[in-house]
Amino acid sequence: MNKQITDLHDLTVTALATQLRERQVSAVEAAQHFLARAKSHQSLGAYVAVNEDVTLAQARAADARIAAGMAGTLEGVPLAHKDIFVTRDFPSTAGSKMLAGYQSPFDATVVRKLAEAGAVTLGKLNCDEFAMGSANENSAVVPVGFDAPAPVRNPWDTARIPGGSSGGSAVAVAARLAPAVTGTDTGGSIRQPASFCGITGIKPTYGRASRYGMIAFASSLDQAGPMARTAEDCALLLSTMCGPDLDRDSTSIDMPAEDFGRSLNDSIDGLRIGIPAEFFGAGLAPDVRAAVDGALKEYEKLGAKLVPISLPRTELSIPVYYIIAPAEASSNLSRFDGVKFGHRAKDYTDLVDMYKKTRAEGFGDEVKRRIMIGAYVLSHGYYDAYYLKAQKIRRMIADDFQQAFTQCDVIAGPVAPTVAWKLGEHGADPLADYLADIFTLPGSLAGLPGMSVPAGFGEGGMPVGLQLIGNYFQEARLLNAAHRLQQATDFHLRQPGGL
C-alpha cells in the first residue's frame, strides 16, 4: 500500500473507490482512518453510534471481494447513515428517547443497496428527533463521547448550528469524518444542512429512493438522498440508492435504477436557468444573495441563460407544509405507544395511562408540538378548513413549477435566507426555524428533485449553498449543472480550519 493514510479523508468517494479497487489502500485501512477521525472530533456531536468490530468485519469482507475480483461500485468505501434509517448492526433511534436502544432486525432498503454495492458502515449520525427540525438542536440521543444529549455543532463555527434535520450527516462530510453519508429530506433537510456546512446534497424525485426502513415523519414528503463533497460523488451514490422497491414501499416509483452520472460532463451551453422573483425578496440576507449571484454569473460564463420566472405561491408553502407534515406525523407517530417496542413508562395504572405517560416521557417538545398540530387539523370540523385546503394549495404549488418549467430547464436560487445561525438563537421561537425553510419547502411539496451546491461564503465566513431544482426525474440534469459549476469553482473543495 503506497497511499499515505493521513491523506485518505481528503479523497472524494470516486477517488477513494478507485484507490481501493486498485489496492493502493485497503478497506480496513480506510475504515480505521475514518473511525479514528470520528473519535478525534467527537466534540462536534456528529455520531450517535459506532461499532468498530462491525465496521472492520465489513471492511475485511470488502477486501476479500476486491482480492477476488468481485468488487462492487462502492467496494470498501466507508459511509455513515443518518439515524433515521434502521440498521441491523447499529441502534436506530431517530434521535428520540422513544427509541433509545432499539435494534432493528433488518436494514432499510437504502442501507441494504449501498451495502450490496460494497459500502462499509462507519456508524449512525445525529439528527433532529424524528427528523423534525431545521437546526439539529432537537436530538434527544447522547452523541458518542458525550454524557448527555447535545446539539450537533457546525465545524465552520462550533458556536453555530449545522442545519437540520440531517445535521450530523452534513457535519460528518464537512469535517471529513466520512467521505459521504445518507440523509433524508422532508422539507429541506438534505439541502439546508448541506448549504450551512458547505457540502453537496441532493434530494431525488419523490419515490425514486425507497422509504422502506426509513422511520417515518411525513410519508408523502420523506425522501432519502446522498450528501458528499462533490456532485460527482452524489451521482455515484444516488445511482446505487435509487430503484423500485414495490414489494416493500407503496410510494416507490416503478422506474429502473439509472446512471445519474452519465451526463456530468455535458456542456450546459444554452441551459435555461429560471430565477424565481419570489426567492430574491426583502427577506434574503445580502451576503447570501451576493454568493448566489456570484454562482449565477459563473453559469452565464459557461453559456447558460438566466430566465426570470415566477413561483407565485412560494409564501404559502410554509403554512401548507406545517399543516400537511404534522398531520402525517401525528398519524405515523401514533405507533409509538409503549406496547410493541421502544420506550415504556414504568409507573402507570391502566392502558390509557401507559399510553399517556409513555408518550409524554418519550417525545421531545418539537415532536409533541407537531403531533398536536396534526391531530388538530385532522379533527372533526377542522379537516376541511385546514388539511383539505392545504392539499389543494399543494397541488397549485406543483402546478406553478410545471408552468415555470415551460420557460426554463432548471430553477436556481438560495437554499436558505441566511447562513447558519448561532446555537440557541431561535430558542423559544420555533416559527423562526420554520421560516428558514421558505425556499426548500415548495420543491418538497411538489415532489421535485432539488440539491444544494456550495456557492461561496457569507457573514462570519460561513458557507452558502445554491439551490438547484429540476423537473420530475431530471436528477441527471441537475447533477450535470452542479458538476459544471464545481469544475469552474473551488468552494466545494474548501474545508473548515483546524480539521
CA distances from 197 to 194, 291, 328, 459, 496 (A): 5, 15, 29, 13, 9
How are beta strands 200-203 and 223-228 bridged, if at all? antiparallel
- CA–CA separation, 192 vs 213, rounded Å? 23
DSSP-based helix, strand, coil % in the chain, nearest 5: 40, 15, 45
Q: Are 430 and 369 in contact (CB under 8 A)?
A: yes
Closest listed residue to residue 133, CA positions, set 160, 153, 163, 155: 163
Closest listed residue to residue 238, CA positions, set 268, 216, 205, 260: 260
Cα four-point dihedral sign 152, 157, 158, 161: negative
> What is the amino acid identity at position 327?
A
* Beta partners for residue 275, in sequence order: 308
- CA–CA separation, 415 vs 417, rounded Å? 7
Sheet containing 463-470: order of strands: 47-50, 120-125, 78-82, 180-185, 223-228, 200-203, 450-457, 463-470, 410-414, 272-276, 305-309
Q: Which residues are catalytic?
A: 82, 165, 189
- CA–CA separation, 392 vs 225, rounded Å? 27
- CA–CA separation, 370 vs 391, rounded Å? 17
- CA–CA separation, 274 vs 384, rounded Å? 35
